[in-house]
Amino acid sequence: MTGNNEARLACFDRWAQQQSLPAAAVPPAPAVLADTPPPTPVDASVPATRVVTAGTADGCRDRQYSSLSRFWELEAGTDCGTFGFRGYRPLNVSFGVAARDPETPTSPAIGRSALVDRPYQAQDMRIGLSLRTKLAEGLLTGDDPAKKDSLWFGYTQQSTRQIFNEDLSRPFRTTDHEPEFIYVYPTDYKLPGGWRLRYGGLGLNHQSNGQDLPLSRSWNRVYLMGGADLDDRYVITARIWKRIKESTAKLGDPAGDDNPDIEDYIGRAEVKGVWNFDRNNQFGVTVRNNLRTSGNGSIRLEWLKAIGDPARSNLRFHTQLFYGYGDTLIDYNKKRTVFMVGISLVDF
């Protein structure tokens, strides 16, 4: 019995000693976690077109940016790099019908009026090719993480073919060539009504039809441009230009100017409005004016409907109505009404 009592006392003593041991210390949080600052609150002044989510498979075509930012690569998140080919104006194939047959080309310049009136038809096929590439970026913005300026080269070619005119062996009636250099500077100015001015820029443009006398037509111009949008539903772009006289005309030779009055017909300024009705339908209107009392110019109405998923396909069914001067370069001083239907490949 005594032995059992002593064993119980020894066990109790060991238990009491364990209860008096110091408690295990909890190690402090690692310095990295302890020094981590609280999350930065969202700045409401930053435009909605800035990156707000992780990158997507769309890369520089990410649709969380505005259409103008994606088109001109105005921000770091929409930068596709230099010397890659992108669409400019829509690549298109369409069929057009005019209110009347084309008139005989004329110009007030000496030796620039057609000598023979060819029996062209009012119906034709239109073929449009337009590409551009970015030559340089960060010229003035440098390494700014929020915006990127850029220098582009663009080339546009528009041809009309008398595809139904078997008597003339279906010739190409016109082909207009239009190379240009474009500098684009990103902006983000708030305008009334929620609009934002997204960019400004300037360009140097040459347009000619590549024909010899008496059908030669060409001109050079320098222009200022800008673009604004509203929630990516509405987009307005504008250009105003000044014609550069032909070098021989500057020397006093009026015969060296193919079309000295071209601005009085085609115009001196252009405004284009686009309404993205939904993801499948886009409506546009382009107005040109000569900024003179005569009010000459043109208006172009457009409807583009997506073919397939617009998030994956750039093909569009394209309907267009043109009224005014400058349908083609050879017709710069002839007022025409032309309705066109076709397929377009928009920016890619």
Would you say residue 303 has pLDDT above 70?
yes
Give the residue-averaged pLDDT of 14-33: 50
- Domain boundary assignment for the chain: 59-345
Enumerate the active-site residues: 206, 208
Would you say residue 73 has pLDDT above 70?
yes
pLDDT band with cut points at 50, 70 and 90 for residue 17: low
Domain spanning 59-345: which superfamily?
Phospholipase A1 (2.40.230.10)
Q: Which is higher by pLDDT, 210 or 2?
A: 210
**For residue 257, what pLDDT is reported?**
85
Q: What are phi and psi of 222, to 5 degrees?
A: -115, 140
**For residue 115, what pLDDT is reported?**
85
* Per-position DSSP letters for 178-191, written without gaps between them: EEEEEEEEEEEEE-
* Per-position DSSP letters for 130-164, written without gaps between them: EEEEEEEE-TTTTT-SS---EEEEEEEEEEEE-TT
Would you say residue 153 has pLDDT above 90?
yes
**For residue 251, what pLDDT is reported?**
47
153 contacts: CB under 8 Å, gap ≥ 6: 132, 133, 135, 179, 180, 181, 182
What is this structure's pTM?
0.81
Amino acid present at 252: G
262 contacts: CB under 8 Å, gap ≥ 6: 219, 243, 332, 333
The string of pLDDT tens digits covering residues 220-259 is 999 999 999 998 899 999 999 999 987 655 545 556 789 9
What is the rounded CA–CA span in Å between residue 300 and residue 295?
16
**For residue 276, what pLDDT is reported?**
95
Q: Which two tokens stand for residue 99?
A: 């209110």
Please report, rounded to a whole number, the percentage of residues in the chain having pLDDT higher than 90: 70
Give the residue-averaged pLDDT of 90-113: 94
Question: Which among 279, 239, 246 has a CA at the least distance from the CA of 262?
Answer: 246
pLDDT band with cut points at 50, 70 and 90 for residue 311: confident
The string of pLDDT tens digits covering residues 108-144 is 988 899 988 899 999 999 999 999 999 999 999 988 8
pLDDT band with cut points at 50, 70 and 90 for residue 64: confident
| Residue 297 · residue 278 · CB < 8 Å | no
β-pair partners for 243: 221
Residue 22: is the preceding peptide bond cis (ω within 30°)? no
pLDDT band with cut points at 50, 70 and 90 for residue 93: very high
**For residue 42, what pLDDT is reported?**
43
Query: How does the average pLDDT of the chain come out, rounded?
Result: 86
Question: Which among 189, 193, 181 has a CA at the least distance from the CA of 226?
Answer: 189
Buried b (16+ CB within 10 A) or exposed e, 55-79: eeeeebebebbbbbbbbbbbbbbbb
Would you say residue 348 has pLDDT above 90?
no
CA distances in angstroms from 206 to 209, 230, 245, listed in the order given? 10, 32, 12
* DSSP three-state, residue 300: strand
